[in-house]
Chain A
């Protein structure tokens, strides 16, 4: 069974950097994609981008290109989402999700990481 476990909640100040993680288990990690999804308070789901664990090929949704960095370390079956300078508007729950290469539904989801950016 595919399982994703995300890092814990974060409280940061504007301008700080942050890197959150998503660790996969229960499957052959290198044959899977991991995607990141933002959910702002009281709002809907937004795709940020996806990364292929085998070769770290990354595709960003246009709204998030240049705003965040998605990366992965296949040796530890983990994907990352990174900000270099946080803004209050980055406050949200961030989910990771996974699917096999060649599939287009996303059956595996992490529990979510709450990021709060406040001075």
Chain B
């Protein structure tokens, strides 16, 4: 059960948009609409920003959006803000095991 593949880092200027990809297989990302995304600031616990591919929890700004095509999911952050600078992890349900797998993580830098 290998980790999902994410770019190591992405960056964007204040107010711009960035998109983070998350590539898995038909046993995880491609097989279920159960992809979620987590934001983690240094020294803090993760918090969910997207669940079920594109659903946004209450309290999460609509600048965060998610999508999926085949075995690849994506998180887009629009109108980048300084507080968006953090690590982001995708996560997918894994069929067969009934558990979950995280992505390798992406560091987002706001220039």
Number of CB contacts from chain A to chain B under 8 A: 71
Report the minimum CB–CB distance from B40 to chain A (whole Å): 8
Provide the main secondary structure of the chain B interface: strand
Assign chain A's interface to a size class: 20 to 34
Q: Could you say which interface size class chain B belongs to?
A: 20 to 34
The reply to whether A107 and B48 form a contact with Cβ atoms under 8 Å apart is yes
* Interchain CA distance A61-B103 in the complex, whole Å: 14
Inter-subunit contact A109/B47 (CB<8 Å)? yes
**Which residues in A have their C-beta under 8 angstroms from that of B99?**
47, 49-50, 59-61
Contact B102 A106 (CB under 8 A): no
Q: Which of A104, A109, A112 is most buried by chain B, counting CB atoms within 10 A of its CB? A: A104
**Which stretch, B19-27, B49-57, B76-84, touches the partner chain A?**
B49-57
Residues of B within 8 A of A45 (CB): 38, 40, 46, 89, 91, 102, 105
- Would B105 and A44 count as touching, CB distance under 8 A? yes
| Closest Cβ neighbor of B102 among chain A residues | A45
Interchain CB contact under 8 A, B57 and A107: yes
User: Judging by beta carbons under 8 Å apart, are A61 and B105 in contact?
Assistant: no
How far, in whole Å, are A62 and B36 apart by their CA atoms in the complex? Answer: 21
- Asked whether B67 is an interface residue with its Cβ less than 8 Å from the other chain, the reply is no
**Given contact pairs A49-B99, A61-B100, A106-B36, a sample of 10 additional A-B residue pairs in the complex whose CB atoms are under 8 Å apart:** A35-B100, A44-B105, A45-B46, A46-B102, A59-B99, A104-B34, A105-B48, A105-B50, A105-B51, A105-B52
